[in-house]
Structure 1
């Protein structure tokens, strides 16, 4: 029997990937979108395997109608309290009222269950909603995957490519969990189609230390990347607290101070995954940290070569 999955947040980065993985597995997908938004129609309107339904999170009746008849409600929404707590509470209430058997919250993160109070805002919001989910009469499954591997080459300044350094806090030998967005999306789709999925599924595309990352970068570039101690997690947590107090936008999802809090959670070991089960759904090719860094360095080389060729030819491009 074909499973019907309603995806909330389907137009976001991780949401689009999850929809793609569900379609690869012949699931019937229903995409929830806000009234008046044309994004979902633009992305999915041409696919007859996808139904687009409109409902505002502030409209319980419309939301219940939107989720009715599905086998699982999968949330991939992104944001802070108005989204992770309030919107998901509304979505959960609608799923319960409609008799939907299963709910998958928008976690896709490190293990937020053991972090210290006040140490990570985004994780604590997930933990707050998890308490509501545990109390609801519905079968729930959270997916914990560590940090997204992609952040090593983008938003997380752990690797100082120009200075040939890898930063660490407290210990260079603390195990860090990483999974790419694509691998996380694949796992989310598999969990959505597994009626017997447990309360928590933990996966990690790779598990490395800062020392491992420095060794990998040295190997890939042929140049020694050294380790640089950046302080303790306690000091970093204090810096994050100051940044949060001085922040002018409390609803920003990933401000700089939140990035600091992520590193505190990871390098303290509090958010480390304890029960990784990558083989739950059989053998898969997991993308490693080395894979991501190698691809990033290759792209940089291509861009650098193209820029050099452009300068050499005297060509100027005007956007």
Structure 2
């Protein structure tokens, strides 16, 4: 028997680092998931066909967004952009596309919309990336008044671009250049915990708060986190502070490459603390006990051996 369309949840960005985990957590709850992505074939490879409806969708196109949301009960917007290319900009993805999804979701009568943003978003920030994330939240709220926002801290997990990359560099480099003096504060969150939170928010009768900040149990400075990874991996790399001004200059050059190893957006994010606010609901509101980055480190070290 085919599931009722009323049980469908559409996940935009469902093949990404976080999005594909949200899809799997929804599937574990016997939810039929419509994976809205530009890479529908990849969705088939990742999830198979049971309770999955891969659909090709472009968040910049009103018609394809409307088709992806047709008949759905809820939706998750897990689309993000880290490098601007041509007309695909932070503004077009984080603000205009987010508004488009929220507007169509409201017009289609969806019960629930979960929008993934990030800790530290600020609509008045001088950083184009951080500003667009803050403006995106405002745009979504203006179109879908009871939307729920998830703001993850920097996320770690298998095949991440965080702990795994740091460990590889610490093992290869005799000297590790730190962002600034290493004083930026971080509260890394396990990607599976964030995905579980998103899936849970789509099913509970009432959202536990309009905004959830999903951060891990341990708070570090960037320097302390690097030292922790060094000690666990037993490497002797020397940590050397590098001014943010130099990082920005390097990023400008790196962005000229087809696949830049460093972007100005990444540098800007490392200038801002990624720590949950003391009065903002988090994992505890969903009875989720978050995994610490230190508990996950042995898996990273073993897989990278």
1:89/1:166 CA distance change after superposition, 3 Å: same
Check if 1:70 corresponds to 2:75.
Answer: no
1:56/1:230 CA distance change after superposition, 3 Å: closer
Could you tell me which residue of structure 1 aligns to residue 108 of structure 2?
98
Could you tell me which residue of structure 2 aligns to residue 11 of structure 1?
15
How far apart are 1:264 and its partner, in Å?
0.9
Could you tell me which residue of structure 1 aligns to residue 134 of structure 2?
127
Structure 1 CA distance for aligned equivalents of residues 145 and 266 of structure 2: 33
Check if 1:260 corresponds to 2:267.
Answer: yes
Check if 1:167 corresponds to 2:178.
Answer: yes
Structure 2 CA distance for aligned equivalents of residues 100 and 24 of structure 1: 22
Could you tell me which residue of structure 2 aligns to residue 280 of structure 1?
285
Unaligned runs of 5+ in 1: 302-319
Q: 1:23 is paired with a residue of what secondary structure?
A: helix
How far apart are 1:20 and its partner, in Å?
0.4
Unaligned runs of 5+ in 2: 82-88
Mapped contact 1:73–1:103 kept (Cα < 8 A): yes
Could you tell me which residue of structure 2 aligns to residue 316 of structure 1?
none
How far apart are 1:185 and its partner, in Å?
1.4
Structure 2 CA distance for aligned equivalents of residues 97 and 152 of structure 1: 38
How far apart are 1:263 and its partner, in Å?
0.7
Match of residue 224, structure 2, among 205, 212, 237: 212
Structure 2 CA distance for aligned equivalents of residues 273 and 223 of structure 1: 30
Structure 2 CA distance for aligned equivalents of residues 209 and 158 of structure 1: 20
CA RMSD of aligned residues (A): 3.5
Mapped contact 1:65–1:98 kept (Cα < 8 A): no
How far apart are 1:98 and its partner, in Å?
0.6
Could you tell me which residue of structure 2 aligns to residue 118 of structure 1?
126
Match of residue 188, structure 1, among 190, 198, 211: 198
Could you tell me which residue of structure 2 aligns to residue 240 of structure 1?
248
Q: 2:116 is paired with a residue of what secondary structure?
A: coil
- Output the TM-score relative to the length of structure 2: 0.77
1:248/1:278 CA distance change after superposition, 3 Å: same
- Output the TM-score relative to the length of structure 1: 0.74
How far apart are 1:224 and its partner, in Å?
6.1
How far apart are 1:156 and its partner, in Å?
5.7
Could you tell me which residue of structure 2 aligns to residue 317 of structure 1?
none
**In terms of Rg, which structure is larger?**
1
Q: 1:297 is paired with a residue of what secondary structure?
A: helix
